[in-house]
């Protein structure tokens, strides 16, 4: 897909209007177009519950998503991306903000640093594919003061790339803060970044069905290379393939904060001790045992969303009843449990039989999920989601291969 097409991520009307606005700024050198844009086209911006503004995406795979939760766009940045971090503000901090959008996550990081930082420096590398979306960040009212610094960095880069022409942002970025803006596909950017660099990675794409390329195993392997040993990746999603991808990329995983959604997001770190809370039990079981736990794959980091989604569908199909228990009727979560519903039980046990598991309460079934008996919501080095998932995976393989009694 061409840059122009892949960068066309926001609502088509506002995309065209923003390009026109900055085109006019260039030809007339008149500040009015930019200054009046928000009031003139207010109806294209989505007011969220905390008073900050969002925008709608264009229709991707027959769906429109808003860039932020309706519960509060800037609050979401603080709750999902800043609160779970354990920054040591006595040391310099580096953050990679992937899918920077309007710049809210970066701005929340700046606010936290300015409030708590000591004698140290903050570097934020923002990555966003769409100039028009970054430009929208200049057009919305700043939800917090620190957004003015982000706007300044965005404006500088848009001028550098000949998209904006006038320097209207007057905030002076504090000397101990550096904000770099990369305008390209984040998959390209990560490949150029140095090893062992970041204390935090904010991963904030559209949902997995719209942007599976930003949740792939290969992308996460790049994260594993560029993140520091105590670094944390934060993302809002609770989806099984994404959590499974982090584990395959050699991360430990934990539960992220719940905000504006039913379920907590996901945190990943090379260091288990950075992750306080375990995933819900059933999530662990499904990731470990069922075909929903098959990650998105993007070898070469250059495949289209459609290709990645189709490949995963095929891989799930092949794995079902072979290396993974079918995810149909949530089969794996009944392992080790008595079932009253006879009809459901028949379906579950049909799926289990194909994996050499005679019933939900058979010794094979209990053996596979035995480690869940130690489950606690708080996790530590010895007792955590990642280890349980890896253990259940191993045990399922043993049972399928008929050699579990010898282990």
Ligand X SMILES: C[S@@+](CC[C@H](N)C(=O)[O-])C[C@H]1O[C@@H](n2cnc3c(N)ncnc32)[C@H](O)[C@@H]1O
The token duo for 46 is 């989505």
DSSP lists the bridge partners of residue 201 as: 96, 233
User: Which pairs with CB-CB distance under 8 Å and at least 24 residues apart come from 331-335?
Assistant: 331/290, 332/285, 332/286, 332/288, 332/289, 332/290, 333/282, 333/285, 333/286, 334/360, 335/285, 335/289, 335/360, 335/365, 335/366, 335/368, 335/369
Cβ proximity to ligand X, 99 vs 233, nearer residue: 99
- 133 or 272: CB nearest ligand X: 133
> What are the two backbone dihedrals, phi and then psi, of residue 135, each rounded to the nearest 5 degrees?
-65, -35
Options 203-211, 217-225, 308-316, 382-390: segment touching ligand X (CB under 6 A): 203-211
Q: Which stretch binds ligand X (CB under 6 A): 122-130, 154-162, 217-225, 319-327?
A: 122-130
125 makes contact with ligand X (CB under 6 A): no
Q: List the one residue from 204, 218, 291, 349 that touches ligand X (CB under 6 A).
A: 204
Query: Cα(59)–Cα(61) distance, rounded to whole angstroms?
Result: 7
Burial letters 56-65, b for 16+ CB under 10 A, else e: bbeebeeeeb
Question: Which residue lies nearer to ligand X by CB, 130 or 331?
Answer: 130
Q: How far is the CB of 267 from ligand X (least distance, A)?
A: 17
Contact set for ligand X, span 81-100 (CB under 6 A): 99-100
x/- track of binding to ligand X for residues 58-77 (CB under 6 A): ---------x---------x
Return the number of the residue (186 or 357) whose C-beta is nearest ligand X.
186
Name 56's Cβ contacts closer than 8 Å, sequence gap at least 6. 10, 11, 14, 44, 46, 64, 65, 66, 67
Cβ-closest position to ligand X: 101
Kindly state the smallest distance separating residue 136's Cβ from ligand X, in Å: 9
Backbone angles phi, psi at 43, to 5 degrees: -70, -15
Shortest reach from residue 179's CB to ligand X, in Å = 13
Residues sharing a CB contact under 8 Å with residue 385, sequence separation 6 or more, in sequence order:
253, 254, 255, 278, 279, 284, 379
Our finding on whether 112 is near ligand X (CB under 6 A) is no
Binding flag, residue 104, ligand X (CB under 6 A): yes
Binders of ligand X in range 2-41 (CB under 6 A) = 9
Of residues 83, 87, 51, the one with CA closest to residue 68: 51
Closer by beta carbon to ligand X, 204 or else 283: 204
Residues of span 128-187 touching ligand X by CB under 6 A: 128-130, 133, 185-186
Q: Which of 211, 226, 289, 352 binds ligand X (CB under 6 A)?
A: 211
Q: Which residues bind ligand X (CB under 6 A)?
A: 9, 67, 77, 99-105, 127-130, 133, 185-186, 204-206, 211, 214
């Amino acid at each position: 897909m061409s840059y122009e097409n892949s960068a066309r991520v926001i609502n088509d009307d506002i995309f065209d209007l923003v390009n026109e606005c900055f085109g006019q700024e260039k030809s007339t050198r008149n500040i009015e177009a930019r200054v009046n844009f928000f009031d003139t086209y207010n109806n294209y911006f989505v007011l969220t519950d905390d008073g900050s503004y969002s925008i709608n995406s264009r229709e991707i795979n027959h769906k429109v998503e808003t860039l932020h939760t309706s519960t509060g766009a800037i609050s979401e940045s603080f709750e999902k991306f800043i609160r779970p971090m354990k920054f040591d503000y006595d040391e310099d901090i580096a953050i990679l903000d992937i899918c920077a959008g309007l710049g809210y996550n970066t701005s929340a990081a700046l606010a936290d640093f300015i409030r708590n930082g000591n004698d140290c420096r903050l570097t934020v590398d923002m990555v966003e594919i769409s100039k028009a979306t970054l430009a929208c960040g200049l057009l919305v009212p700043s939800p917090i003061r620190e957004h003015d610094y982000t706007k300044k960095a965005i404006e500088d880069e848009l001028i550098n790339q000949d998209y904006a022409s006038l320097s209207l942002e007057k905030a002076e970025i504090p000397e101990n803060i550096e904000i770099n803006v990369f305008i390209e596909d984040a998959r390209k950017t990560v490949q150029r970044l140095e090893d062992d660099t970041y204390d935090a990675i904010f991963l904030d794409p559209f949902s997995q069905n719209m942007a599976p390329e930003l949740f792939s195993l290969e992308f996460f392997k790049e994260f594993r290379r560029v993140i520091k040993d105590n670094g944390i990746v934060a993302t809002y999603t609770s989806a099984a393939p994404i959590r499974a991808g982090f584990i395959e990329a050699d991360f430990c995983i934990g539960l992220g904060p719940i905000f504006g959604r039913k379920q907590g997001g996901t945190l990943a770190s090379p260091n288990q001790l950075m992750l306080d809370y375990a995933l819900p039990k059933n999530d662990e079981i499904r990731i470990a045992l069922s075909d929903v736990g098959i990650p998105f794959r993007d070898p070469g980091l250059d495949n289209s969303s459609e290709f990645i989604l189709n490949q995963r569908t095929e891989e799930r199909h092949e794995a079902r009843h072979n290396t993974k228990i079918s995810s149909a009727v949530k089969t794996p979560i009944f392992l080790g449990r008595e079932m009253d519903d006879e009809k459901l039980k028949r379906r579950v046990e049909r799926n289990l039989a194909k994996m050499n598991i005679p019933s939900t309460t058979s010794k094979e079934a209990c053996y596979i999920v035995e480690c869940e008996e130690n489950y606690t919501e708080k996790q530590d080095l010895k007792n955590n989601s990642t280890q349980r998932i890896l253990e259940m995976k191993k045990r399922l393989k043993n049972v399928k291969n008929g050699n579990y009694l010898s282990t």
